[in-house]
Amino acid sequence: MDKLSKDIEKLITIVIPSREFDSNLKFCLKKIRFFYKNIKILIVLDAFKKKILVKDKNINLIISKTTIGAKRNIASKKVKTKFICFIDSDAYPNTAWLDRVKENLFAKNFAILGGPNLSPSSKNFEKILISRVRKLPFVTINPKVKTKTNLKEINFLPSSNLVVNTNIYKKLGGMYEYLYSGEEIKLNYNIQKKNYIILFDAKMHIMHKERKLQSFMKQRFVYGSTALRLFIKFPCKASFKLLLSSVPSLWLIFFPIIFVNNFFLITYLFISVSVFILVFYYTYKIYLKNNFLKSFKIILISIFAPGIGMLASFFLKDNIIQKLYTQK
C-alpha cells in the first residue's frame, strides 16, 4: 500500500447498508480490503446471525431493521473521520477509487464527491441488456454516472458511490429515512439548496452488479411507487425525472377519454403511437444478438413499470412494496 492510500484511511469511513451478510457483501469487503487494508468500515444489517464472524478489528456491525436511508444515517452518527464513503453491498471497487478524494480536497465549497458506477462484464444476456438500458435518460436519473464521462460538477449522484463531508452530512440531516428507495434525493436536494457543490470524478469509478430481468422489473416498480411522495417532499430536477417516468403508464389509464369526442380520440391515439414509436426506437438502441423480443420486453418494463408502481402505492402498504426490493 502506498502513502496516499494510508492517508486516505485516516480521512474516510466506509458505510455499507445491507439486509444480510450475503455473498455480495462478502465480495464487496474483499475488494475494499485489497486496496485499503485498515480503513474503517461500518456495516448495517437487518439482523445478526451467530454464524457471522468478522475478525477484522476495523469492521463494525450495526443491527437495525429499517430503511436503507435510515441505515446510512444511523451509521453516520458513529463516524469520526472527515468524510463518509457510501457504497452499496452489491457494488465493489476494482481500483483504489478513494485515492481520488485527496486529488479533489481543495475544490471550493464541495460537499459530495463521487464517480461512475459501471456495470461489470457478464455472460448473462439479461444483465448485459439491462446494463445497456441503464444508460438511457428515462431509466437512470443522471445516465452520465453509468459512463466515464469527464465532468467536474453534476446535479445528482446516487448513493452507490459517493463520498460526503461528514459535518455537512450531519448538519443537513443525511438521507431520507421514511421511504424504502430514493433516499439520496433528499441529500442531493439539500446540498444544492445550500449552494454546496457536487463533484464528479470520472476516475473514481466502482462496479455495480446488475439484476436479472425479474429483479429489474421489481426495482422499476418500487422506484415508481415512491416518485410522487419524493417530488412533493423534495421538488427538484431529480425527483421530477423520477415522477416523469410514471407518466406513460398513467396515460394509458386515461383510455376512456377517447369516447368523449373526436378531439380526445385523435390526441390520445397520437400520443400513444408516439410512445410506442419510442419503445421501438429504444428497443433497437439496446438490441443485441438477434434477440428483439427480450430487448422489447426490457424497454416495456423500463417505461411502464414505474407508473404501475405509482398506482400500486395508493392501494398497497409500504411494507408490502418494500419486500419486493431485492439486492439480487
Give the CATH number of the domain where residue 139 resides. Answer: 3.90.550.10
- Of 265, 262, 243, give the one whose Cα is nearest residue 254: 265
Considering the domain architecture, whether residues 163 and 38 belong to the same structural domain is answered as yes
Considering the domain architecture, whether residues 110 and 237 belong to the same structural domain is answered as no
Considering the domain architecture, whether residues 134 and 32 belong to the same structural domain is answered as yes
Q: How many CA atoms lie within 13 A of 193 on its CB side?
A: 12
Q: What is the pLDDT of residue 218?
A: 93
Considering the domain architecture, whether residues 47 and 172 belong to the same structural domain is answered as yes
Considering the domain architecture, whether residues 30 and 162 belong to the same structural domain is answered as yes
Give the H or E element holding residue 215.
helix 213-233
Q: Which of 214, 245, 278 is the last residue of a domain?
A: 214
Considering the domain architecture, whether residues 11 and 78 belong to the same structural domain is answered as yes
Residue with the bigger pLDDT between 87 and 212: it is 87
Which grid cell sits at 122? 457478464
Q: What is the pLDDT of residue 75?
A: 97
Q: What is the pLDDT of residue 256?
A: 80
Considering the domain architecture, whether residues 206 and 223 belong to the same structural domain is answered as no
- Of 22, 66, 58, give the one whose Cα is nearest residue 40: 58
Considering the domain architecture, whether residues 108 and 222 belong to the same structural domain is answered as no
- In which domain, by residue range, is 294 found? 218-324
Q: Which of 160, 191, 214 is the last residue of a domain?
A: 214
Considering the domain architecture, whether residues 224 and 207 belong to the same structural domain is answered as no
Q: What is the pLDDT of residue 257?
A: 77
Reply yes or no on whether the pLDDT at 4 is more than 60. no
How many folded domains does the chain comprise?
2
Considering the domain architecture, whether residues 204 and 103 belong to the same structural domain is answered as yes
Question: 44 - beta bridge partners?
Answer: 17, 62
pLDDT band at 48 (very low <50, low <70, confident <90, very high): confident
Considering the domain architecture, whether residues 196 and 280 belong to the same structural domain is answered as no
Q: Report the amino acid identity of residue 26.
A: K
Reply yes or no on whether the pLDDT at 19 is more than 80. yes
pLDDT band at 5 (very low <50, low <70, confident <90, very high): low
pLDDT band at 324 (very low <50, low <70, confident <90, very high): confident
Q: Which of 214, 241, 275 is the last residue of a domain?
A: 214
Reply yes or no on whether the pLDDT at 255 is more than 90. no
Reply yes or no on whether the pLDDT at 297 is more than 90. yes
Phi and psi (nearest 5°) for 197?
-110, 140
Considering the domain architecture, whether residues 70 and 157 belong to the same structural domain is answered as yes
